[in-house]
Amino acid sequence: MPNRIDQKFTELRAAGQKALVAYISAGDPNLDATRELAWAFEEAGVDVLELGVPFSDPLADGVVNQLAAARALAAGTTVRGVLECVRAIRERSQIPIVLYTYMNPIYCFGFVEFHRAAEAAGVDGMLILDLPPDEDAVNAELTLQTGMKRIRLIAPTTPPARIAHLTADASGFVYYVSREGVTGEQSEVAASLPEQVAAIRATTPLPIAVGFGISNPDHVRQVAKHADAVVVGSAIVKRIAEYGTSPELIAKLSEFVRPLAAATKSN
């Protein structure tokens, strides 16, 4: 079966459109809500769903996403629970799903076992925050071949030679972290964005997604002029925290993401 990430970007490119990638922490406020949000987001125009696997020490995340992971863990979310949630999402949806995770939960589960279980559940890609490609050369286990895409992160501080090394090993899409530091909403888009995206694009034909700090339709439109996909995370997670287990959660979050999705299609 062709990978859903590849299919989605091929479809969007043919239409001259960009993708909205929405990030949420799986299990926040609970896994039933995560499943319902996934279905609602697809209906609202989200192109790719990025599910955070809750972890007790999420070093790349700002306070909003750290608290989301803490809430998910307090609600009893486990790695197996996240994979079962993906399986449940697949009952009604073929939205591409990327797991955003750290190595610790994967190694506790078993590296090979985790990848096989994730693929069987319906996961399309992996974004492992603390696994640089250099490790593959010294650990044969890390070269495991699956149908899932391995998405690589590039930062504003990444030197040109390193960018080429990272993109050579990437698949699915490349995730450009548009700001130094951790995740979180920002008041404006990074001024260096056009030049940085162009530098990455010179090394790879893969779609380029830009995230960190993007929180409103105006930001999305600005980023979509240069990138193939726009990632919105903390702004969504903040609203999940606000509505919690309220009966309004799904409707309010759908209302929030719909104009973000529309902004990726208006360039």
Closest CA to 17 of 218, 233, 225: 225
Q: Which helix (H) or strand (E) holds 214?
A: none
Q: What's the rounded mean pLDDT across residues 223-242? A: 96
255 belongs to the catalytic site: no
- Residue 91 burial (10 A CB sphere; 0-12, 13-18, 19+): exposed
Active-site residue (options: 28, 47, 61, 228): 61
Query: pLDDT tens digits, residue range 179-222?
Result: 654 444 444 566 789 999 999 999 999 999 999 889 899 999 99
pLDDT of residue 190: 65
β-strand partners of 62:
none
Gap between the Cα atoms of 133 and 154, Å rounded: 12
User: Percentage of the chain surpassing pLDDT 90?
Assistant: 79
CB 253 within 8 A of CB 40: yes
* Mean pLDDT value across residues 21-47: 98
Contact 52, 68 (CB under 8 A): yes
SS (HEC) of 254-265: HHHHHHHHHHHC
d(CA 121, CA 109): 15
Do 5 and 169 touch, CB atoms closer than 8 A? Answer: no
In 3D, which of 212, 168, 175 has the Cα closest to residue 197?
175
Read off the pLDDT of residues 147-164 as tens digits, 9 standing for 90 and up.
Answer: 999 999 999 999 999 999
Average pLDDT for residues 241-257, to the nearest whole number?
A: 97
Q: Is the pLDDT of residue 144 over 90?
A: no
pLDDT at residue 135 in the model: 79
**Which of 175 and 132 is assigned the larger pLDDT?**
175
Name residue 48's amino acid.
V
Domain around 83: 4-264
Higher-scoring residue by pLDDT: 184, 227: 227
pLDDT greater than 90 at residue 145:
no
Residue whose C-alpha is closest to residue 187's, from 163, 162, 215 = 215
End-to-end Cα distance, the chain: 31
Instruction: Name the least confident of 16-25, 54-63, 103-112.
Output: 54-63
50, 124, 185, 228: which one is catalytic?
50
Distance CA 36, CA 56 (A): 24
Q: Residue 249: how many CA atoms within 13 Å on its side-chain side?
A: 20
Structure-block tokens of residue 157: 């501080």
Record the pTM.
0.94
Looking at every residue in the chain, the average pLDDT score rounds to: 91
pLDDT of residue 187: 47
Q: What is the CATH number of the domain that holds 100?
A: 3.20.20.70
Domain total in the chain:
1
Share of the chain above pLDDT 70, in %: 92
6 catalytic residue (yes or no): no
Most confident option among 84-93, 137-146, 178-187: 84-93
Contact between residue 210 and residue 197 where contact means Cβ atoms under 8 Å apart? yes
Residue carrying the six token digits 């459109």? 17
Instruction: Specify the pLDDT at position 208.
Output: 98
Mean pLDDT confidence for 236-257 = 97
Indicate the length of the chain as a whole number. Answer: 267
User: Between these two residues, 139 and 224, which has the higher pLDDT value?
Assistant: 224
Residue 35 has pLDDT above 90, yes or no: yes
The confidence score (pLDDT) of residue 178 equals 79
d(Cα 229, Cα 220) in Å, to the nearest integer? 9
pLDDT at 207: 98
